[in-house]
Structure 1
């Protein structure tokens, strides 16, 4: 059984952790506001999303957006603009609250009543690796039926738990060469 990669890229291979690619794909599936936060429209849309209900306001505070109601009202009215640091906090809070709101729906779509979702693994880029050190890796696909831990970790923003759920829970199903897919150029799936 292969172990986790310790020195990825030592011989020139390029790619990203599969769990990071999964998190990016889940973010894409979750959708959200496309306008950047640096534009007034994007800022207002995020602020409205974070303040429309009491539950959303509490989730925003839990996510790190700790400003007074007076400041928040001034931002919404356009009388004041948030600092760069507060823009980052607003965007991070928005992403976290959006993930929490979408997670249950996304989990149902990915699990599909036990049928699961087809996942494609595109292998790492070995163009910079000397021939004797190259692995034989190829495009693989498999059906993933257990998304609960992955989506739960993603919604909480817990990257270590997501990596463990992906690497120890899903990749071994690829067979004896699962270690070759810990890093990939892309991981694709739809929901």
Structure 2
């Protein structure tokens, strides 16, 4: 029976079970939180990103989730530097030109700061004279560091990035470092 593990990856945790020998015992990995032999990440989240990571013991399911050709929508909450403009939101919705090509159009909207969100440790850097704002961004591809590069390309660098959903799987109330096992038939 295949199983799927929903994991809320904390900030500063590597999206792998082992680290390079020179960094061993210096950085946290998935092994610090997950003790499920035979489980592998279906996709990635950068070390400086937080939120939903799916792991499975089923190679076919892992491939289906991670493969960009299936275009599973991924939802992110993004805190950006500055008060994001309607024009920047429109650019995100239409697709943004990056060094490796044009992104697919995204669903993007400005949102209020989520009240349910846990504090980040360490906190983001704050500048007294520069406000921040929040965007919900839904993409259907997974270029390297895509969300960060998209917001930077429209003039609003990412300060904090939290993935809340992949396809039908949602983070829900999982706190950083918590996981939930789902059995698939």
User: TM-score scaled to structure 2, two decimals?
Assistant: 0.28
Q: Normalized per residue, which structure has more strand?
A: 2
Q: Normalized per residue, which structure has more helix?
A: 1
Which structure would you say has the larger Rg?
1
User: TM-score scaled to structure 1, two decimals?
Assistant: 0.28
